[in-house]
Structures are given as structure tokens and as C-alpha cells.
Structure 1
Amino acid sequence: MYRLSGVVKRYRRGRATIDALAGVDLTIEDGDQLVIKGPTGGGKSTLLQMLGGLDRPTSGTVELDGTDLARLSEAKLTRVRAATVGFVFQNFNLIPTLNAQENVEAALVPLGTRAAERRRRAAEALESVGLAERRAHLPSELSGGQQQRVAIARALVKQPKVLLADEPTGNLDENMRDEIVGLLEKMWREHGLTYVVVTHDTAIARRASRVATIRKGHVKVAEN
């Protein structure tokens, strides 16, 4: 379970001070599905980065299962990210010189998984997203939707507890958007994940059980 208390994230921009997050209090239960939406620059991605341990708050606490991520050493925080959190990004973030299988396997390297086990799990993950026959293809040889499926397989191959998605359909057309969102929701249900997605798309927000709207660093949560 996530528990955020009084989370502030402050940036300096020239002489101005910007509060990307302005005292956020938020609880996300295990297995929850939460959409974070709001205007550009409102703090959506900053909040997701806090949940994923990609950034630290200026003040406040970000607890995951009772551990304050903000107080962990960088080494321990890296371990949490590697073992517990799966990330899916708008721009896919695949390594262009690695094929689909190798991109998925890369997520298991920081965990010390043996090569044979990496190959087996990566192949199973690609099969689960419908890309078993594309595992030898480079990212440049895949469509945008296929690249995002590889990214989803990479996020899930390490069997995380949390799945965080930052505008995962931002570079896809409407039909592919619905396909990818459906796949993410399928994986959330089948794996019992805590699933948090940032989006500006109201069609995606309507599908979630809970929606956190963030404006000027302030969060309001509503049930759908």
C-alpha cells in the first residue's frame, strides 16, 4: 500500500519557486486502479515519479508498504525500483540495438537472474502480450503498438507489485489506444497489481475505479 503524507516537490525556475506538488495526501491500496489526470504542468508526472522512486520530495513522506522511499539510500531505492515497480512510458524507452527478447530480458539483469531463466521469462512475457513471433525483431521493425507491448512485457517480466504507466497511449492512435489500455487492464487483473496511470485522456479516466485530479500541485480523488 502507498501512503503519501504532506508531499511537496519544489523546483527553482530562475528566481521563481514552483511547487509541482503542494502538500499531497494520498492512499493507494494494494490492487487498486488509479488514474491521475489534469492539465499539462499540473504535477501528474511528478507524482508518478514519487510513487516510482524516480524522484524524492522536497518534504513529506512517500511510503510503500511502510517504507519511506524518500529516506532510502540510492542503492536501496534502486533495488526497490528494480524488484517492485514496473514502468511503462509514453515513448516506450526501448534500447534500439536490442531485439524485443533482449529488451525484456534487460529488466531482469539488475535482479541477478541467471541467463537461462531470463530467456525463459522474457519469452513467456512476450507471449503474454501477443508478441511471441516478434521476439527477434528490433524496435525499428515494430509498430508503435508493438513497441508498447514490448515495454509492457518488460515491465511485467520481473513480476512487480506495482505497475506505473505515464501517458502509455500518448503516441498511439485511438484504436491502438483502446487495445493497449485493454491489455494493461488485463494484466492488472490477472497479476493482482497496484496499477497507476497518468493520462490527459478522459476516455481512459472513465474506465478507472478511482481518479485523482491534480491541479497546481493539489490532488482531489473521486470514485467513478
Structure 2
Amino acid sequence: MYQLSGVTKRYRRGKDSVNALDGVDLTIEDGGRLVIQGPTGGGKSTLLQMLGGLDRPSEGSVVLDGTDLAALPEARLTRVRAEKIGFVFQSFNLIPTLTAQENVETALVPLPGLKARERRERAGEALASVGLGERLRHLPGELSGGQQQRVAIARALVKRPAVLLADEPTGNLDESMRDEIMEVLEALWEEHAFTFVMVTHDSALARRTRRVATIRKGRVTVKERAADAA
């Protein structure tokens, strides 16, 4: 479970100080699903970075399963990210010279005790779970945008994380491909019961989720509602 208490992130802008997050209190249950929305510059991505341990708050605590990420030494924080948190980004972030399977395997390299054969097998299984079992040896440039994002999803989930954080995962895709990717993410969430937090500007995607956090000027409001789709 995530428990955020009084999370403030302050940036310097010339002589002024700007709060990207301003005293955020937020709870996300294990296996929960949350969409984060808000205007550009409102703090959406900053909040996701706090949840992922990619940045630290100026004030407050970000507690994941009893551990305050904001207080961890960098080496331990890196280990938590490697073992517990998967990331999916708008830009895919695939290595162009590696095959789909090799890209997915990169997420397993930091994990101790995994032999090369096990990494290959797990990467193949992860790609099959997103419908790319026959594309293992394709380079990113040989795949469509939707297929590249499926590779990125497989890479995020191959380490079997407790948390999946997605920052505008359909932002580079057309409407039909957007829906396909969301169906993949939703099916994987239902199957594996990871905690799923997604930033999106797309209201159609937000309506698929019962719990929506809106950020405006660094402050968060959470609403529960019936989803339009399962």
C-alpha cells in the first residue's frame, strides 16, 4: 500500500519558488487502480515520479509497504525500483539495437540470481502475454508504435512488480491503438493484481477507472465513481 503524507515538491524558478506538489495526502491500496489527471504543469508527472522513487519530495513522506521511499539511501531506493516497481512511458524508451526479447531482458539484469536462460524464458513469456510471442527477434524499428508499447509493457512486468506506473502510455498512439493498449493493461492488471497508477490527459481513458485523482496547482482531489467499462 502507498501512503503519501504532506508531500510537497518545491522547485526554484529564478528567484521564485514553485510548488509542483503542495501538501499531498494520498492512499493507494494494494492492487488498486488510480488514474491521475490535471492540466499541463499541474504536477501529474511529478506525483508519479514520487510514487516511483525517481524523485524525492522537499517535504513529506512516500511510504510503500511500510518503507518511506523519500528517506531511503540511493542504493536501497534503486533496489526497490528494480524489484517492486515497473514503469511504462509515452515514448516507449526501447533500445533500438536490441530485439524485443533483449529489450525485455534488460529489466531482469539488476535482479540477483537469475541465469541467462531464465531471463530469456521470462522475457519470452512476458512478450507472449502482450500478444508478441512471435516477434521476439524483431528490432523496435520493425514494429508498429502499438507493438513497441507492448514490448515496453512486457519489459515493465517481466520482473513481476508489485506496482506498475504508466505516464501517458497511449499518448503517441491513435484512438484504435489506444484502446488496444488499455485493454492489454487492464487484462494484465486483473490477472496479476498489481497496483496500477496511470497519468493521462485522455478523459476517455479516465472514465474506464473508478478512482481518479485530479491535480490542480499541486493539490490533489480524489473521486470515486462507477467506471464506464470493466
Task: Mark yes or no: TM-score above 0.5.
Answer: yes
Name the amino acid aligned to 2:191: E
> In 2, Cα distance between the equivalents of 1:52 and 1:86?
8
- Partners in 2 of 1:135 and 1:11 — Cα distance? 42
Whole-Å separation in 2 of the counterparts to 1:125 and 1:77: 25
Which structure 2 residues correspond to residues 1-224 of structure 1 after superposition, within 5 A? 1-112=1-112, 113-224=114-225
Query: Which segments of structure 1 move beyond 3 Å, counting only runs of 4 or more?
Result: none
Provide the C-alpha distance between the structure 1 equivalents of 2:181 and 2:193, rounded to a whole number of angstroms. 18
Alpha-carbon distance between aligned partners in 1 of 2:111 and 2:124, rounded to the nearest angstrom: 17
Aligned residues: 224
Distance in 2, matches of 1:14 and 1:122, equals 46
Instruction: Give 2:228's aligned residue.
Output: none
Give the counterpart letter for 1:60 in structure 2: G
Q: For residues 216 and 188 of structure 1, what CA distance do their matches in structure 2 show? A: 30
Per the TM alignment, residue 44 of structure 1 is displaced from its structure 2 partner at its CA by 0.2
Instruction: Flag structure 1 segments of 5+ consecutive residues without an equivalent.
Output: none
Could you report, residue by residue, the CA deviation over 1:165-221 in whole angstroms, capped at 9, with x for unpaired residues? Answer: 000000000000000011111111100110000000000100011000000100000
How far the C-alpha of 1:119 sits from its partner, in A, is 0.3
Residues 76-106 of structure 1 show CA distances to partners (whole Å, capped at 9, x for unaligned) of 0000000000100000011111110000000
Residue identity over aligned pairs, in percent, reads: 75
SS at match of 2:34: strand
CA distance in 1 between counterparts of 2:135 and 2:60 reads 44
TM-score, normalised to structure 1's length? 0.99
Distance 1:97 1:65 in 2: 37
CA distance in 2, matches of 1:95, 1:8: 34
Show structure 2 runs of 5+ residues with no match. Answer: 226-230
- The C-alpha deviation readout for 1:90-131, integer Å capped at 9, x for no partner, is 000111111100000000000032101000000000000010
TM-score if structure 2 supplies the norm length? Answer: 0.97
Looking at structure 1, the residues matched to 46 and 66 of structure 2 have their Cα atoms a distance apart, in angstroms, of 21
